[in-house]
């Protein structure tokens, strides 16, 4: 197994006619597609410690690589010097893949994305692992084992999320009375918006995604807690219910926006630079933050306005 750079500046059509640039060679993939490859080997299969197939948030497979200590240092140097170029993965003079180097990769871990199918991902994984072996490796049988362990983990994650949700709903109803019920209705609407958005994006529900949903539940209720405590402060100053609600929302707005916007910025950074599970967490968290801002600030205030616009209210249940 060898890692070599693809010569993007060379003229492939001229090379196929016999005019191959010095230091280059022509290699083909398994489907007969030609590549103009630089002859120098930058890395060999001995630098790879492990390769495995994983599933991203959008259901697309990718190959995760672990390098040896020496290989990690060498790979970081290669990727740092050749950002934006394509690094061909070659086994027995056959190009198996040619991903683009997006950034300098440190830490001894890397991922290969843009893989169209699970079969292609498994084939690449086998190529990478066999290249690390000192002897040739032939595929005799390839078996896919069902992800029963992952399914069980997701089931337990969902159960934890439901228990947490029920606990939050009961606490809000007990501590904030009827106002807590309004917050509970907004929370359920928030989750409905979040699930609808994930369904529209055809996203796969993973453990990090469930963690993002659970965090969203806490942040959504947190906004309502800030608002309700502000309203209680105004009621203690003997303000009328209508005035207390308006003042409470106005004074809590800036705090809520500051907290949620900073978290949203962090989630967007995770989505931009993260891979696989990290992107899944960032996706659910980002959608959840936007939905919770809407439900906590707009939906709950609308419900309060509807209550206060009817018959005169002397005392708020909060």
Residue 222 burial class via C-beta count within 10 angstroms: exposed 0-12, middle 13-18, buried 19 and up: middle
| H or E element in which residue 215 lies | helix 207-236
Predicted pLDDT of residue 6: 92
**Nearest Cα to 216, choosing from 264, 278, 163?**
264
Predicted pLDDT of residue 149: 52
Predicted pLDDT of residue 138: 63
Q: pLDDT tens string for the chain (318 positions)?
A: 788 999 988 888 888 888 898 999 999 988 889 999 999 999 888 888 888 888 877 778 888 888 898 989 999 999 999 999 999 988 878 888 888 888 888 888 888 887 778 888 888 888 777 654 444 556 665 555 455 556 777 788 788 888 888 998 999 899 988 888 999 999 999 889 988 988 888 777 777 888 888 888 888 888 889 999 998 888 888 888 888 888 989 888 888 998 889 999 998 998 888 777 788 888 888 998 999 889 988 999 998 888 888 667 777 778
Torsion sign, CA atoms 67, 70, 72, 78: negative
Predicted pLDDT of residue 127: 77
Predicted pLDDT of residue 4: 92
Residue 209 burial class via C-beta count within 10 angstroms: exposed 0-12, middle 13-18, buried 19 and up: buried
> Do 2-131 and 148-309 have matching folds?
no
Predicted pLDDT of residue 133: 45
Predicted pLDDT of residue 135: 47
CATH of domain 2-131: 3.30.1360.200
| H or E element in which residue 38 lies | strand 34-38
CATH of domain 148-309: 1.20.1640.10
Predicted pLDDT of residue 234: 87
What is the pTM (predicted TM-score) of this model? 0.52
**Nearest Cα to 111, choosing from 271, 273, 275, 272?**
275
The single-letter DSSP state of residue 296 is I
| Number of alpha helices (DSSP H) and beta strands (DSSP E) in the chain | 8, 9
Domain boundaries along the sequence of the chain: 2-131, 148-309
Predicted pLDDT of residue 161: 83
């Amino acid at each position: 197994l060898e890692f070599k750079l693809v010569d993007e500046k060379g003229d492939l059509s001229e090379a196929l006619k016999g005019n191959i640039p010095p230091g280059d060679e022509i290699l083909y993939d398994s489907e007969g597609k030609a590549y103009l490859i630089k002859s120098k080997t930058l890395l060999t299969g001995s630098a790879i410690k492990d390769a495995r197939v994983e599933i991203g948030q959008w259901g697309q497979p990718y190959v995760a690589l672990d390098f040896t200590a020496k290989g990690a240092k060498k790979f970081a140097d290669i990727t740092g010097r050749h950002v934006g170029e394509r690094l061909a993965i070659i086994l027995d003079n056959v190009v198996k893949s040619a991903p683009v180097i997006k950034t300098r990769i440190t830490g001894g871990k890397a991922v290969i994305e843009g893989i169209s199918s699970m079969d292609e991902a498994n084939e690449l994984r086998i190529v990478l692992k066999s290249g690390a072996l000192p002897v040739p490796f032939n595929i005799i049988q390839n078996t896919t084992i069902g992800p029963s362990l992952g399914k069980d983990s997701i089931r337990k994650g969902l159960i934890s999320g439901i228990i947490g949700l029920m606990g939050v709903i009961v606490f809000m109803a007990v501590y904030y009375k009827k106002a807590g019920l309004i917050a509970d209705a907004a929370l359920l609407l928030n989750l409905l918006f979040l699930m609808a958005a994930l369904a529209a994006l055809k996203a796969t529900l993973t453990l990090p995604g469930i963690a993002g949903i659970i965090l969203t539940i806490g942040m959504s209720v947190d906004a309502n807690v800030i608002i309700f405590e502000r309203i209680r402060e105004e009621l203690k100053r003997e303000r009328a219910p209508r005035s207390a609600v308006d003042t409470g929302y106005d004074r809590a707005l800036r705090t809520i926006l500051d907290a949620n916007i900073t978290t949203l910025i962090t989630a967007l950074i995770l989505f931009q630079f993260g891979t696989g599970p990290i992107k899944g967490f960032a996706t659910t968290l980002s959608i959840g933050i936007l939905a919770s801002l809407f439900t906590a600030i707009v939906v709950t205030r609308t419900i309060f306005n509807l209550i206060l616009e009817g018959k005169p209210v002397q005392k708020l249940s909060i």
